[in-house]
């Protein structure tokens, strides 16, 4: 019991330090949102997240006191929570990593399938000295590149296709340099106008 109590208390110290570091980082980041310094709900959430740390410290102190007075069984009872918490954290981490890997594999499989079904499309517009280009990617992202001579070409996102891939949701940001009315000037290798292939909204 004595050795088990020591091991569990050491696990408790590790858990308290790890949780404390994570809490401090989260506490600092919780002030990023505007008005979060005066929001009662934000402070309540910070307090709720802090409470487990208080519980951990109290349990460790009780376990140490019991150990100090030779009540090793009672010390194990108090510190057993750290062993349970460690196992729970390990299981949670394992399950989470498996789930993340599964989702990443699903995303990658979908990307491969999209690349097979919807290869990258290119629409061109001749300009003096070169060409302007619109790219439609398998991921439904649409971007543009404007020829500007020897300088670095203008480029950026033009928008995204909808889920049925027949409509461009045009990016109406102020820094979009390709105007919506210019899109019919772009044609693909089959001679189809961009605006004939995709509805623009």
Alpha-carbon torsion angle 69, 20, 87, 89, nearest 10 = 170
Q: Do 101 and 178 fall into the same domain? A: no
Strands (E), 89-153: 121-127, 130-136, 141-146
d(CA 39, CA 42): 5
> Are 76 and 5 in contact, with CB atoms under 8 Å apart?
yes
d(CA 12, CA 157): 50
> CB 27: neighbour CB atoms within 10 A?
12
d(CA 57, CA 61): 6
Say what the pTM is.
Answer: 0.60
Structure token digits, residue 36: 């979060």
Q: Do 10 and 104 fall into the same domain? A: yes
Q: Do 86 and 128 fall into the same domain? A: no
Last residue of a domain, one of 114, 144, 159: 114
Q: What is the pLDDT along the chain (201 residues), one digit of tens a residue?
A: 888 888 889 988 988 998 888 888 888 888 777 777 778 888 888 888 889 889 999 999 999 999 888 888 889 998 898 888 888 888 988 998 999 999 999 999 999 999 999 999 999 999 988 999 999 999 999 999 999 887 778 899 999 999 999 999 999 988 899 999 999 999 999 999 999 999 999
Structure token digits, residue 184: 């019919």
* Beta-carbon contacts of residue 19 (< 8 Å; ≥ 6 apart): 52, 53, 56
Q: Do 36 and 61 fall into the same domain? A: yes
Q: Do 36 and 91 fall into the same domain? A: yes
Q: Do 141 and 43 fall into the same domain? A: no
Q: Which of 174, 177, 168 is nearest to 201 (CA)?
A: 168
d(CA 5, CA 174): 64
């Amino acid at each position: 019991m004595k050795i088990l109590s020591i091991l569990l208390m050491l696990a408790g110290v590790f858990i308290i330090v790890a949780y404390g570091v994570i809490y401090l980082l989260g506490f600092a980041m919780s002030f990023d949102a505007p008005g979060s310094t005066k929001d009662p709900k934000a402070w309540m959430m910070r307090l709720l997240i802090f409470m487990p740390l208080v519980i951990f410290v109290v349990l460790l102190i009780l376990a140490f006191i019991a150990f100090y007075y030779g009540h090793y069984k009672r010390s194990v009872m108090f510190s057993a929570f750290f062993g349970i918490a460690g196992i729970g954290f390990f299981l949670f981490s394992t399950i989470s990593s498996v789930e993340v890997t599964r989702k990443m594999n699903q995303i990658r499989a979908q990307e491969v399938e999209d690349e097979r079904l919807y290869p990258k499309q290119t629409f061109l517009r001749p300009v003096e000295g070169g060409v302007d280009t619109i790219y439609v990617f398998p991921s439904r992202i649409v971007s543009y590149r404007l020829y500007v001579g020897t300088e670095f070409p203008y480029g950026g996102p033009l928008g995204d296709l909808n889920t049925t891939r027949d409509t461009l949701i045009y990016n109406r940001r102020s820094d979009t340099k390709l105007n919506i009315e210019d899109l019919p000037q772009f044609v693909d290798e089959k001679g189809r106008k961009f605006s004939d292939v995709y509805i623009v909204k």
